[in-house]
Amino acid sequence: MFKKLFIGCAVFAALAIVLVPTMQAFTKSGDPIQKRAEMQQILDEMRAEIEANGYTFTVGPNPAMQYSIDQLCTLNPNLISTENYLANPAEMSMTEALPSSYTGYYTPIKNQASCGSCWAFSTCAQTETAILKNTGQTVNLSEQWLVSCNNDGWGCSGGWFAFGYHVNPGAALESCFPYTATDAPCYTGCPYPYDINSWSYVGNSSSVPSTDAIKNAIYTYGGVAAAVYVNSNFQAYTSGVFNGCSWFVWSVNHAIQLVGWDDSKGAWLLKNSWGTGWGENGFMWIKYGCNKVGYAACYVNY
């Protein structure tokens, strides 16, 4: 059985290597008819793979497929800033008993579009969650302020979780600095009406914490910002429990938020930043451990 599993994983890894460039080539085509034909071919190949492996998710056309994975997914562990690293670490105690399923707190789905600002969206999503959980107030924080005004050189080409900026000077509102999906110049006229007390990793910045540790953080803080590795199957996901995993990956490339779990599915409820037209109205169920999901999970103390 182990031999079959190993062979199956190896075959999938080979398919993933083939499909990623194909997806990127699709986004570069300028002819609408050719685009549709290429997308259909890609989806047919994915569906055949899903059926052959008995996977539990579906794929289909969605707005995220107009971009390459390299455009969308630019979270980069090599860009961790020493200045932004762990501002007053928050304390977290382990809950003795956790429910078998739980949905935490989250604010509406947003769309990062063609800018690789997933790191800013994940950061804002988790701070918004902390504010919602603690005050009952839904706020819309500015991702563009993080993209344009950080001092680390982060932008549409890459970044890391930026909670240090929400500690000091604080978070600006979307209404003051609206999102443009570009590396726009910094606007310095925004007030910072929300600031967090501290933030911390569930484990550390370079590994996936245990499933129970992530659950405990979600249960305690309403959600966690986290990283995952995005492959072509992930990009084309439309519904179900995602288990089309790339097992032979050494790093991550995308920042998301985990806002719940369901043990009967064996999966996390993942909130993405690719609009409501992706996945299940902007969300995904993803199998525990798949694609390094939960890597560098972190939470906010508001």
Cα distances from 99 to residues 103, 135, 216, 260, in angstroms, run: 10, 24, 10, 11
% of residues, the chain, pLDDT over 70:
85
pLDDT of residue 153 exceeding 70: yes
Residue 280 phi/psi, 5-degree rounding, is: -95, 80
Predicted local distance difference test score (pLDDT) of residue 28: 54
28 or 104, which is more confident: 104
254, 291, 298, 301: which is the annotated catalytic residue? 254
Predicted local distance difference test score (pLDDT) of residue 266: 98
pLDDT of residue 20 exceeding 80: no
29 or 224, which is more confident: 224
**In the chain, where are the structural domains located?**
69-301
Catalytic site includes residue 254: yes
pLDDT of residue 11 exceeding 70: no
Which range has the worst mean pLDDT, 33-37, 85-89, 108-112, 204-208? 85-89
| CA-closest candidate to residue 122, choices 302, 245, 277, 296 | 296
pLDDT of residue 83 exceeding 80: no
73, 118, 124, 290: which is the annotated catalytic residue? 118
Measure the CA–CA gap between 167 and 83, rounded to whole angstroms: 12
| pLDDT mean over 126-148 | 98
3.40.50.300, 1.20.120.80, 3.90.70.10, 1.20.120.430: CATH of 69-301: 3.90.70.10
Which band of pLDDT confidence, cut at 50, 70 and 90, is reported for residue 112? very high
Predicted local distance difference test score (pLDDT) of residue 248: 85
Cβ-based burial of 216 (10 A; exposed 0-12, middle 13-18, buried ≥19): buried
Predicted local distance difference test score (pLDDT) of residue 30: 65
pLDDT of residue 36 exceeding 80: yes
Are the beta carbons of 75 and 285 closer than 8 angstroms? no
Cα distances from 34 to residues 25, 29, 105, 216, in angstroms, run: 11, 7, 41, 48
What the block records as the tokens of 232 is: 């072509």
Catalytic site includes residue 111: no
Catalytic site includes residue 9: no
Mean pLDDT of the chain: 88
Measure the CA–CA gap between 55 and 47, rounded to whole angstroms: 10
Measure the CA–CA gap between 222 and 136, rounded to whole angstroms: 12
272, 290, 298, 301: which is the annotated catalytic residue? 272
